[in-house]
Amino acid sequence: MDTVKNSDKICEKVEHVHEIISKKWVSSIIHTLMEEPKRFSEIHGYIPDLSKRVLNERVKDLENLGIVIRNVITDRPIRTEYSLTRKGIELGRALKGLEDWANKWV
């Protein structure tokens, strides 16, 4: 009985991850932030087909999930950068495996 309950919980968690990464542009945003923090305009520059409105929505979603953090830098001029949290970096590493698979098989 415990095995079934644990299996159900694992399936729920996996489904939740699929819901997160299946939103269009999410994996591209995470990929873009893997190397270093970037300003909104820099993220948009790396993904030019992504509208600013959708980028704003996705970044807010990822912030709410604890995957991305918004950093306000108070130096003049004041600017905002986005970076991955530890949780986001680990997700990015997992997505790298999918990228490697896609490069080999797709």
Contact between 84 and 67 under an 8 Å Cβ cutoff? The reply is yes
First to last CA, the chain: 40
What are the pLDDT digits (tens) for 10-57? 789 999 999 999 999 999 999 999 999 999 999 999 999 999 999 999
Q: What is the pLDDT of residue 5?
A: 67
Q: What is the pLDDT of residue 40?
A: 97
Tell me what the pLDDT averaged over the chain comes to.
93
Q: Listing from the earlier edge strand, what are the strands of the sheet with 79-84?
A: 38-39, 79-84, 68-73
The pTM is what?
0.86
Q: What is the pLDDT of residue 10?
A: 78
Q: What is the pLDDT of residue 3?
A: 55
- For domain 2-105, is the CATH number 3.40.640.10? no
- Determine the Cα–Cα distance for residues 6 and 60; give it in Å rounded to an integer: 31
- Determine the Cα–Cα distance for residues 83 and 67; give it in Å rounded to an integer: 9
Q: What is the pLDDT of residue 9?
A: 79
